[in-house]
Amino acid sequence: MNSKPKIGVYICHCGINVAKTVDVDEVTEFSSQLPYVKLARNYSYMCSDPGQNLIKDDIANEGLNRVVVASCSPRMHEPTFRKTLIEAGINPFFLEMANIREHCSWVHQDKEEATEKAKKLVAASVSKARLLEPLEEKEVEVEPASLVIGGGIAGIQAALDIANAGFKVYMVEKTPSIGGKMAQLDKTFPTLDCSACILTPKMVDVDAHPNIELLTYSQVEEISGYVGNFDVKVRKKARYVDMEKCTGCGLCAEECRLADRIPSEFDAGVGKRSGIYLPFPQAVPAKFTIDPERCLFLTRGKCGKSPKCVDVCTAEAIDFEQKDEFVEFKVGAVIVATGYDVFDASRKPEYGYDNYDNVLTGLEMERLVSASGPTGGSIALGEGEEAYVPKDIAFIKCVGSRDESVGNEYCSRVCCMYTAKLAHLVKEKIPEANVRIYYMDVRAFGKGFEEFYDRVRREGIRYIRGNPSEIFKRNGRLVVKVEDTLTATPLEDEVDLVVLAVGLEPRKDSREIIDLLRLSQSGDRFYLEAHPKLAPVDTATDGVFVAGCAQGPKDIPDSVAQAKGAASSALGLLASGRVKVEAQVSVVDEATCRGCAYCVEICPYGAIEMVNVNRMGHEVQVAQVNEVLCKGCGACVAGCFSGSIQQRSFKDRQILPQIAVLGVLR
Interface ranges with ligand FAD (CB under 6 A)? 149-155, 172-175, 180-182, 185, 188-189, 219, 337-340, 342, 362-363, 366, 414, 418, 421, 507, 512-513, 548-549, 554-557, 559
Task: Give the per-residue contact string, 424-463, with another protein (x = CB under 8 A; - = no).
Answer: ----------------xx----------------------
Min separation Cβ 265 and ligand FAD, Å: 10
Report which residue type is found at 99: N
Residue 645 binding: pick among another protein, ligand FAD, none (C-beta 5-8 Å cut-off by kind): none
Work out which of 2, 32, 485, 592 binds another protein, going by CB under 8 A.
Answer: 485
Residue 352 binding: pick among another protein, ligand FAD, none (C-beta 5-8 Å cut-off by kind): another protein
3-class DSSP state of 64: coil
- 10 Å CB burial of residue 445 (0-12, 13-18, 19+) is exposed
Phi, psi of 68 (to 5 degrees): -115, 125
Residue 483 binding: pick among another protein, ligand FAD, none (C-beta 5-8 Å cut-off by kind): another protein
Which residue, 407 or 663, is less far from another protein as judged by CB?
Answer: 407
Which residue, 122 or 482, is less far from another protein as judged by CB?
Answer: 482
Q: d(Cα 442, Cα 453) in Å, to the nearest integer?
A: 9
Min separation Cβ 180 and ligand FAD, Å: 3
3-class DSSP state of 326: strand
Alpha helices (H) along 407-527: 415-429, 449-458, 510-517
* Closest residue by Cα to residue 252 from 263, 266, 239, 265: 239
From the list 94-102, 484-492, 552-560, 602-610, the region that binds another protein by CB under 8 A is 484-492
Residue 402 binding: pick among ligand FAD, another protein, none (C-beta 5-8 Å cut-off by kind): another protein
Min separation Cβ 476 and another protein, Å: 10
Min separation Cβ 343 and another protein, Å: 13
Q: d(Cα 271, Cα 285) in Å, to the nearest integer?
A: 21
Which residue, 306 or 355, is less far from another protein as judged by CB?
Answer: 355
Which residue, 112 or 492, is less far from another protein as judged by CB?
Answer: 492
3-class DSSP state of 83: helix
Q: d(Cα 626, Cα 611) in Å, to the nearest integer?
A: 11
Min separation Cβ 269 and another protein, Å: 22
Residue 160 binding: pick among ligand FAD, another protein, none (C-beta 5-8 Å cut-off by kind): none
- 10 Å CB burial of residue 102 (0-12, 13-18, 19+) is middle
Q: d(Cα 23, Cα 20) in Å, to the nearest integer?
A: 8
Residue 513 binding: pick among another protein, ligand FAD, none (C-beta 5-8 Å cut-off by kind): ligand FAD
Residue 612 binding: pick among another protein, ligand FAD, none (C-beta 5-8 Å cut-off by kind): none
398 binds another protein (CB under 8 A): yes
Phi, psi of 383 (to 5 degrees): -110, 150
Work out which of 17, 229, 467, 569 binds another protein, going by CB under 8 A.
Answer: 467
Q: Taking CB under 8 A as the criterion, which residues in 323-352 touch another protein? A: 349-350, 352
DSSP H/E element including 294: none
Min separation Cβ 472 and another protein, Å: 5
On whether the CB atoms of residues 339 and 150 are closer than 8 A, the answer is: yes
Q: d(Cα 75, Cα 64) in Å, to the nearest integer?
A: 24
3-class DSSP state of 118: helix
CB atoms within 10 A of CB 386: 7
Q: What end-to-end distance do the CA atoms of the chain give, in Å? A: 30
User: Which residues of the shown chain bind another protein in the complex (CB under 8 A)?
Assistant: 349-350, 352, 355, 398, 402-405, 440-441, 465-473, 481-485, 488, 490, 492
